[in-house]
Amino acid sequence: MNAIPETPLLSVRDLRVHFSLPGKGLFGKPRTLKAVDGVDFDLFPGETLGIVGESGCGKSTLGRAILQLIPPTAGQVVWLGKDIVGTRDRDLQPLRRDLQIIFQDPLASLNPRMTIGEIIAEPLVTHKADLGKAEIRNRVKTMMARVGLLPQMINRYPHEFSGGQCQRIGIARAMILEPKLIVCDEPVSALDVSIQAQIVNLLQDLQRDFGLSMLFISHDLSVVRHICQRILVLYLGNVMELADRDTIYAAPKHPYTKALISAVPIPDPELERSKERIVLKGDLPSPINPPSGCVFRTRCPFAKEKCATDIPMIETLGPSHQVACHFHGRM
Protein backbone atom coordinates (compact mmCIF):
# COMPACT_ATOMS: atom_id res chain seq x y z
CA MET A 1 0.00 0.00 0.00
CA ASN A 2 1.17 3.48 -0.83
CA ALA A 3 2.05 5.89 1.91
CA ILE A 4 -0.96 8.06 2.63
CA PRO A 5 -0.28 11.79 2.15
CA GLU A 6 -0.72 13.93 5.20
CA THR A 7 -3.38 16.45 4.19
CA PRO A 8 -6.85 15.00 4.02
CA LEU A 9 -9.07 15.69 1.04
CA LEU A 10 -12.13 15.54 3.20
CA SER A 11 -12.51 15.91 6.95
CA VAL A 12 -15.77 15.19 8.66
CA ARG A 13 -16.04 16.57 12.17
CA ASP A 14 -18.80 15.68 14.61
CA LEU A 15 -21.33 15.47 11.78
CA ARG A 16 -24.94 15.13 12.88
CA VAL A 17 -28.06 14.68 10.80
CA HIS A 18 -31.28 14.76 12.77
CA PHE A 19 -34.73 14.54 11.29
CA SER A 20 -37.72 15.83 13.18
CA LEU A 21 -40.81 13.69 12.96
CA PRO A 22 -44.33 14.68 13.93
CA GLY A 23 -45.29 13.49 17.40
CA LYS A 24 -47.61 10.60 18.07
CA GLY A 25 -51.24 11.66 18.32
CA LEU A 26 -52.63 15.10 17.73
CA PHE A 27 -50.72 16.93 20.46
CA GLY A 28 -47.67 14.69 20.78
CA LYS A 29 -44.29 16.34 21.03
CA PRO A 30 -42.28 16.25 17.80
CA ARG A 31 -39.70 13.47 17.95
CA THR A 32 -36.16 13.48 16.69
CA LEU A 33 -34.61 10.75 14.58
CA LYS A 34 -30.85 10.87 14.95
CA ALA A 35 -29.75 9.27 11.70
CA VAL A 36 -26.13 10.37 12.05
CA ASP A 37 -25.03 11.38 15.49
CA GLY A 38 -21.52 12.69 15.72
CA VAL A 39 -19.27 11.11 13.10
CA ASP A 40 -15.59 12.03 12.65
CA PHE A 41 -13.19 10.85 10.01
CA ASP A 42 -10.65 11.97 7.43
CA LEU A 43 -10.37 10.84 3.86
CA PHE A 44 -7.05 11.15 2.06
CA PRO A 45 -6.44 11.56 -1.68
CA GLY A 46 -6.55 8.26 -3.55
CA GLU A 47 -7.94 6.40 -0.58
CA THR A 48 -11.03 4.24 -0.30
CA LEU A 49 -12.83 4.37 3.01
CA GLY A 50 -15.48 1.75 3.63
CA ILE A 51 -18.54 2.70 5.64
CA VAL A 52 -20.26 -0.43 6.86
CA GLY A 53 -23.25 -1.14 8.99
CA GLU A 54 -26.71 -2.61 8.87
CA SER A 55 -29.75 -0.97 7.34
CA GLY A 56 -30.85 1.97 9.44
CA CYS A 57 -27.36 2.68 10.77
CA GLY A 58 -27.25 5.97 8.90
CA LYS A 59 -24.58 5.08 6.37
CA SER A 60 -26.50 6.32 3.32
CA THR A 61 -27.57 9.46 5.16
CA LEU A 62 -23.94 10.09 6.06
CA GLY A 63 -22.90 9.82 2.41
CA ARG A 64 -25.61 12.22 1.30
CA ALA A 65 -24.91 14.67 4.10
CA ILE A 66 -21.28 14.85 2.99
CA LEU A 67 -22.45 15.72 -0.54
CA GLN A 68 -24.89 18.25 0.97
CA LEU A 69 -27.81 16.42 -0.61
CA ILE A 70 -29.28 16.22 2.89
CA PRO A 71 -28.49 19.27 5.01
CA PRO A 72 -26.48 18.29 8.11
CA THR A 73 -27.90 19.47 11.44
CA ALA A 74 -24.53 20.18 12.99
CA GLY A 75 -20.83 19.57 12.50
CA GLN A 76 -18.41 20.25 9.73
CA VAL A 77 -17.64 18.79 6.34
CA VAL A 78 -14.27 20.22 5.40
CA TRP A 79 -13.55 19.79 1.71
CA LEU A 80 -10.05 20.86 0.65
CA GLY A 81 -9.70 22.97 3.78
CA LYS A 82 -13.08 24.71 3.59
CA ASP A 83 -16.20 23.91 5.58
CA ILE A 84 -19.04 23.41 3.12
CA VAL A 85 -21.91 22.86 5.56
CA GLY A 86 -24.61 25.47 5.05
CA THR A 87 -23.27 26.64 1.69
CA ARG A 88 -26.05 27.81 -0.60
CA ASP A 89 -26.97 25.58 -3.53
CA ARG A 90 -25.65 28.06 -6.06
CA ASP A 91 -22.27 28.30 -4.37
CA LEU A 92 -22.02 24.51 -4.18
CA GLN A 93 -22.23 24.32 -7.97
CA PRO A 94 -18.45 24.41 -8.62
CA LEU A 95 -17.89 21.84 -5.85
CA ARG A 96 -20.34 19.39 -7.39
CA ARG A 97 -17.89 18.92 -10.23
CA ASP A 98 -15.50 17.21 -7.83
CA LEU A 99 -18.07 15.27 -5.78
CA GLN A 100 -20.09 12.53 -7.38
CA ILE A 101 -22.29 9.66 -6.30
CA ILE A 102 -23.13 6.16 -7.55
CA PHE A 103 -26.36 4.57 -6.40
CA GLN A 104 -27.49 1.13 -5.34
CA ASP A 105 -30.35 0.60 -7.77
CA PRO A 106 -28.77 0.99 -11.19
CA LEU A 107 -31.99 1.29 -13.18
CA ALA A 108 -33.73 3.68 -10.78
CA SER A 109 -30.79 6.04 -10.92
CA LEU A 110 -31.19 6.58 -14.66
CA ASN A 111 -33.95 8.73 -16.13
CA PRO A 112 -36.01 6.26 -18.21
CA ARG A 113 -36.95 8.93 -20.77
CA MET A 114 -33.38 9.88 -21.68
CA THR A 115 -30.92 8.05 -23.89
CA ILE A 116 -27.79 6.91 -22.13
CA GLY A 117 -25.84 9.44 -24.18
CA GLU A 118 -27.95 12.23 -22.71
CA ILE A 119 -27.64 10.75 -19.24
CA ILE A 120 -23.86 10.49 -19.30
CA ALA A 121 -23.55 13.92 -20.92
CA GLU A 122 -25.67 15.71 -18.34
CA PRO A 123 -22.81 16.65 -15.99
CA LEU A 124 -20.81 17.95 -18.97
CA VAL A 125 -23.76 19.93 -20.28
CA THR A 126 -24.24 21.39 -16.81
CA HIS A 127 -20.65 22.32 -16.07
CA LYS A 128 -18.88 22.57 -19.40
CA ALA A 129 -21.55 23.63 -21.86
CA ASP A 130 -18.94 25.62 -23.81
CA LEU A 131 -17.40 22.39 -25.10
CA GLY A 132 -19.89 22.13 -27.94
CA LYS A 133 -22.10 19.24 -28.92
CA ALA A 134 -19.61 17.26 -30.94
CA GLU A 135 -16.92 17.38 -28.28
CA ILE A 136 -19.39 16.40 -25.55
CA ARG A 137 -20.55 13.45 -27.62
CA ASN A 138 -16.96 12.47 -28.19
CA ARG A 139 -16.16 12.53 -24.52
CA VAL A 140 -19.27 10.54 -23.70
CA LYS A 141 -18.22 7.86 -26.16
CA THR A 142 -14.70 7.75 -24.78
CA MET A 143 -16.05 7.37 -21.26
CA MET A 144 -18.47 4.67 -22.38
CA ALA A 145 -15.62 2.68 -23.83
CA ARG A 146 -13.63 3.25 -20.65
CA VAL A 147 -16.33 1.73 -18.43
CA GLY A 148 -16.90 -1.21 -20.76
CA LEU A 149 -19.92 -0.11 -22.78
CA LEU A 150 -20.03 -0.18 -26.55
CA PRO A 151 -19.93 3.47 -27.72
CA GLN A 152 -22.43 2.73 -30.49
CA MET A 153 -25.03 2.11 -27.78
CA ILE A 154 -25.13 5.84 -27.14
CA ASN A 155 -28.68 6.31 -28.45
CA ARG A 156 -30.21 3.47 -26.49
CA TYR A 157 -32.40 3.78 -23.42
CA PRO A 158 -31.72 2.46 -19.90
CA HIS A 159 -34.42 -0.23 -19.99
CA GLU A 160 -32.59 -1.88 -22.87
CA PHE A 161 -29.65 -2.73 -20.62
CA SER A 162 -29.06 -5.30 -17.89
CA GLY A 163 -28.43 -4.33 -14.27
CA GLY A 164 -24.66 -4.54 -14.55
CA GLN A 165 -24.61 -2.42 -17.70
CA CYS A 166 -26.89 0.17 -16.07
CA GLN A 167 -24.43 0.41 -13.21
CA ARG A 168 -21.66 1.04 -15.75
CA ILE A 169 -23.77 3.88 -17.18
CA GLY A 170 -24.14 5.31 -13.66
CA ILE A 171 -20.37 5.06 -13.19
CA ALA A 172 -19.72 6.74 -16.55
CA ARG A 173 -21.98 9.63 -15.54
CA ALA A 174 -20.16 9.99 -12.23
CA MET A 175 -16.73 9.83 -13.91
CA ILE A 176 -17.24 12.12 -16.89
CA LEU A 177 -16.15 15.26 -15.02
CA GLU A 178 -13.18 13.41 -13.53
CA PRO A 179 -14.20 14.14 -9.94
CA LYS A 180 -11.93 13.89 -6.92
CA LEU A 181 -14.36 11.98 -4.72
CA ILE A 182 -17.06 9.46 -5.48
CA VAL A 183 -19.54 8.33 -2.86
CA CYS A 184 -20.52 4.77 -3.79
CA ASP A 185 -23.79 3.93 -2.06
CA GLU A 186 -24.04 0.12 -2.12
CA PRO A 187 -22.96 0.06 -5.78
CA VAL A 188 -22.92 -3.73 -6.13
CA SER A 189 -25.63 -4.88 -3.70
CA ALA A 190 -28.36 -5.02 -6.32
CA LEU A 191 -26.23 -6.88 -8.86
CA ASP A 192 -25.89 -10.57 -9.59
CA VAL A 193 -22.93 -12.31 -8.01
CA SER A 194 -21.15 -12.83 -11.31
CA ILE A 195 -21.48 -9.12 -12.15
CA GLN A 196 -20.40 -7.76 -8.75
CA ALA A 197 -16.78 -8.64 -9.32
CA GLN A 198 -16.79 -6.90 -12.72
CA ILE A 199 -18.05 -3.68 -11.21
CA VAL A 200 -15.66 -3.84 -8.25
CA ASN A 201 -12.75 -4.31 -10.64
CA LEU A 202 -13.95 -1.43 -12.79
CA LEU A 203 -14.15 0.88 -9.77
CA GLN A 204 -10.66 -0.12 -8.69
CA ASP A 205 -9.26 0.47 -12.18
CA LEU A 206 -10.86 3.88 -12.39
CA GLN A 207 -9.61 4.77 -8.96
CA ARG A 208 -6.06 3.90 -9.90
CA ASP A 209 -6.16 5.64 -13.27
CA PHE A 210 -7.82 8.84 -12.10
CA GLY A 211 -6.43 9.03 -8.57
CA LEU A 212 -9.93 9.02 -7.14
CA SER A 213 -10.92 8.93 -3.52
CA MET A 214 -13.92 6.83 -2.67
CA LEU A 215 -16.37 6.47 0.15
CA PHE A 216 -17.64 2.94 -0.28
CA ILE A 217 -20.89 2.50 1.60
CA SER A 218 -21.90 -1.13 1.94
CA HIS A 219 -23.40 -3.73 4.21
CA ASP A 220 -21.30 -6.44 2.60
CA LEU A 221 -18.13 -6.86 4.59
CA SER A 222 -16.52 -9.23 2.13
CA VAL A 223 -16.71 -6.73 -0.73
CA VAL A 224 -15.51 -3.97 1.58
CA ARG A 225 -12.54 -6.07 2.60
CA HIS A 226 -11.56 -6.32 -1.01
CA ILE A 227 -11.86 -2.70 -2.08
CA CYS A 228 -11.26 -0.51 0.97
CA GLN A 229 -8.04 0.54 2.68
CA ARG A 230 -9.75 1.73 5.84
CA ILE A 231 -13.11 0.80 7.31
CA LEU A 232 -15.55 2.70 9.47
CA VAL A 233 -18.16 0.67 11.34
CA LEU A 234 -21.39 2.53 12.02
CA TYR A 235 -24.21 1.55 14.38
CA LEU A 236 -27.29 3.73 14.95
CA GLY A 237 -25.51 6.78 13.60
CA ASN A 238 -22.49 6.34 15.87
CA VAL A 239 -18.96 5.26 14.99
CA MET A 240 -18.15 1.94 16.64
CA GLU A 241 -14.74 1.32 15.18
CA LEU A 242 -12.44 2.80 12.56
CA ALA A 243 -9.31 1.01 11.47
CA ASP A 244 -7.33 -0.01 8.46
CA ARG A 245 -8.44 -3.12 6.69
CA ASP A 246 -5.97 -5.65 7.95
CA THR A 247 -6.42 -4.58 11.55
CA ILE A 248 -10.17 -4.63 11.51
CA TYR A 249 -10.48 -8.10 9.99
CA ALA A 250 -7.61 -9.67 11.90
CA ALA A 251 -8.16 -8.07 15.28
CA PRO A 252 -11.47 -6.27 15.65
CA LYS A 253 -11.78 -4.60 19.02
CA HIS A 254 -15.46 -3.73 19.12
CA PRO A 255 -17.95 -6.52 19.88
CA TYR A 256 -20.22 -5.24 17.12
CA THR A 257 -17.46 -5.43 14.52
CA LYS A 258 -16.71 -8.96 15.69
CA ALA A 259 -20.32 -10.02 15.42
CA LEU A 260 -20.67 -8.41 12.02
CA ILE A 261 -17.61 -10.19 10.67
CA SER A 262 -18.60 -13.53 12.12
CA ALA A 263 -22.08 -13.26 10.63
CA VAL A 264 -20.85 -13.12 7.03
CA PRO A 265 -21.18 -16.59 5.51
CA ILE A 266 -18.02 -18.02 3.97
CA PRO A 267 -18.46 -19.96 0.73
CA ASP A 268 -16.57 -22.95 2.08
CA PRO A 269 -18.54 -25.70 3.84
CA GLU A 270 -15.80 -26.77 6.26
CA LEU A 271 -14.86 -23.27 7.35
CA GLU A 272 -18.45 -22.05 7.46
CA ARG A 273 -19.59 -24.94 9.65
CA SER A 274 -16.66 -24.87 12.01
CA LYS A 275 -16.15 -21.14 12.48
CA GLU A 276 -16.89 -19.42 15.75
CA ARG A 277 -20.11 -17.50 15.53
CA ILE A 278 -21.28 -14.57 17.61
CA VAL A 279 -25.02 -14.41 17.00
CA LEU A 280 -26.47 -11.12 18.19
CA LYS A 281 -29.78 -11.09 19.98
CA GLY A 282 -32.74 -9.18 18.63
CA ASP A 283 -33.01 -6.38 16.13
CA LEU A 284 -31.63 -2.93 15.64
CA PRO A 285 -33.31 -0.58 18.18
CA SER A 286 -35.29 2.32 16.82
CA PRO A 287 -33.12 5.37 16.08
CA ILE A 288 -35.96 7.55 17.41
CA ASN A 289 -35.45 6.13 20.85
CA PRO A 290 -31.88 4.83 21.03
CA PRO A 291 -30.59 3.02 24.14
CA SER A 292 -28.92 5.09 26.85
CA GLY A 293 -25.18 4.91 27.27
CA CYS A 294 -23.65 2.76 24.57
CA VAL A 295 -26.15 2.44 21.70
CA PHE A 296 -25.03 -1.14 21.06
CA ARG A 297 -25.53 -2.40 24.62
CA THR A 298 -29.01 -3.91 24.02
CA ARG A 299 -27.57 -6.44 21.62
CA CYS A 300 -24.06 -6.73 22.99
CA PRO A 301 -23.17 -10.13 24.42
CA PHE A 302 -20.65 -8.48 26.77
CA ALA A 303 -22.74 -5.56 28.03
CA LYS A 304 -22.23 -4.53 31.66
CA GLU A 305 -23.89 -1.94 33.91
CA LYS A 306 -21.48 0.77 32.92
CA CYS A 307 -22.60 0.48 29.30
CA ALA A 308 -26.13 1.62 30.20
CA THR A 309 -24.99 4.75 31.97
CA ASP A 310 -21.80 5.98 30.28
CA ILE A 311 -21.47 6.79 26.62
CA PRO A 312 -18.17 5.24 25.50
CA MET A 313 -15.69 7.77 24.11
CA ILE A 314 -13.75 7.06 20.96
CA GLU A 315 -10.32 5.83 22.01
CA THR A 316 -7.28 5.76 19.81
CA LEU A 317 -5.50 2.42 19.97
CA GLY A 318 -2.92 2.80 17.27
CA PRO A 319 -1.91 5.09 14.42
CA SER A 320 -5.08 4.23 12.53
CA HIS A 321 -7.27 2.38 14.94
CA GLN A 322 -10.12 3.94 16.91
CA VAL A 323 -12.79 2.18 18.89
CA ALA A 324 -15.76 3.23 21.01
CA CYS A 325 -16.18 0.55 23.68
CA HIS A 326 -15.62 0.61 27.44
CA PHE A 327 -14.26 -2.89 27.46
CA HIS A 328 -12.28 -3.09 24.23
CA GLY A 329 -9.26 -4.14 26.23
CA ARG A 330 -10.89 -7.43 27.10
CA MET A 331 -11.89 -8.32 23.57
Partner 1 sequence: MSQHILTVDNLTTRFATPDGEVEAVNAVSFHIDPGETLGVVGESGSGKTQIFMSVMGLLSKNGKASGSVRYKDAEILNLAPAKLNKIRGVTMSMIFQDPMTSLNPFLKISKQMTEVLVEHRGYSEEKALKHAVNMLDRVGIPGAAQRVHMYPHEFSGGMRQRVMIAMALLCDPEVLIADEPTTALDVTVQAQILDLLRDLKKDFNTAIVMITHDLGVVAGLCDRVMVMYGGRVVETGNVRDIFYDSHHPYTEGLLKSMPRIDRAHEQKMYAIPGQPPNLQNLPSGCAYQERCDYVQNRCTQSRPVLYDIAQGRASACFREVGE
Partner 2 sequence: MFNKSRNATALEKSGPVEEFEGRSLWHDARIRLFRNKAAVGSMIILAIIALMAIFAPMLSPFEYDEIDWGYIQEGPNWENGHIFGTDGNGRDLFIRILYGARVSLAVGLLATAVSLVIGVTYGAIAGYFGGRIDNIMMRFVDVMYSLPFMFFVIMLMVVFGRNIFLIFVALGAVEWLTMARIVRGQTLSIRRREFIEAAHATGVSSFKIIFRHVIPNVLGPVIVYMTLTIPQVILTESFLSFLGLGVQEPLTSWGVLISEGAKVIEASTWMLVYPAIFLALTLFCFNFIGDGLRDALDPKDR
CA–CA gap between residue 217 and residue 63 (Å, rounded): 8
Choose which of 12, 85, 116, 259 interacts with partner 1 (CB under 8 A): 259
Residue 83 exposure: Cα atoms within 13 Å on the Cβ side: 9
Indicate the DSSP class of residue 50: E
Choose which of 273, 276, 313, 319 interacts with partner 1 (CB under 8 A): 273
Enumerate residues 292-311 that contact partner 1 by CB under 8 A.
Answer: 299
Radius of gyration of the chain (CA): 21
Choose which of 42, 204, 314, 315 interacts with partner 1 (CB under 8 A): 204
Question: In terms of CB distance, is 97 or 225 closer to partner 1?
Answer: 225
CA–CA gap between residue 203 and residue 190 (Å, rounded): 16
Question: In terms of CB distance, is 125 or 145 closer to partner 1?
Answer: 145
Residue 201 sits in the site that holds partner 1 (CB under 8 A) = yes
Q: Using alpha carbons, list the distances in angstroms from residue 176 to 137, 139, 154, 163.
A: 11, 8, 14, 20
Specify whether the CB–CB gap between 101 and 187 falls below 8 A: no
CA–CA gap between residue 232 and residue 40 (Å, rounded): 10
Choose which of 93, 126, 162, 289 interacts with partner 1 (CB under 8 A): 162
- Binding partner selected for residue 197 from partner 2, partner 1, none, CB under the kind-specific 5 to 8 Å limit: partner 1
Residue 156's nearest CA partner among 116, 122, 121, 118 is 116
Q: Which residues form the interface with partner 2 (CB under 8 A)?
A: 64, 67, 69, 89, 92-93, 96-97, 99-101, 103-105, 108-116, 122-123, 126-127, 150, 152-157, 159-162, 165, 170, 173
Residues lying near partner 1 in the complex (CB under 8 A) are found at 54-55, 162-165, 192-198, 200-201, 204, 219-223, 225-226, 245-246, 249, 259-273, 277, 279-280, 282-284, 299
